[in-house]
Amino acid sequence: MSGFSPEDAMAMERRHILEGEQRVAVQEARVKELIEKGYNWIVPQSNEVLRILRDSLELSRERLRYLERRYRNAPKAGPD
């Protein structure tokens, strides 16, 4: 796992999820603002960016679920 402990990998994935949720929220606000201002010509592209961000967020959530299942009952590494 690239030198990361399971705990480090899960913590990193949780950060990715938080950052992804923030990006989705920002993009949702941008799309709403574009619609309100009548920039309908750019809305399809903005929605495509939003879809990609949501897909990426879901991949991070899936990765975290995978890590949690894989390491849920794994013995903790103790001091050497």
Q: pTM for the complete prediction?
A: 0.82
The whole domain housing 29 covers 6-71
Helix, strand, or coil here: 23? helix
Residue 78 lies in a domain: no
State how far the Cα of 80 lies from the Cα of 14, in Å rounded to an integer: 28
The one-digit pLDDT tens for each residue of the chain (80 residues) are 467 899 999 999 999 999 999 999 999 999 999 999 999 999 999 999 999 999 999 999 999 999 999 998 765 655 54
How many domains are contained in the chain? 1
Residue 32 lies in a domain: yes
Residue 79 lies in a domain: no
State how far the Cα of 52 lies from the Cα of 50, in Å rounded to an integer: 5
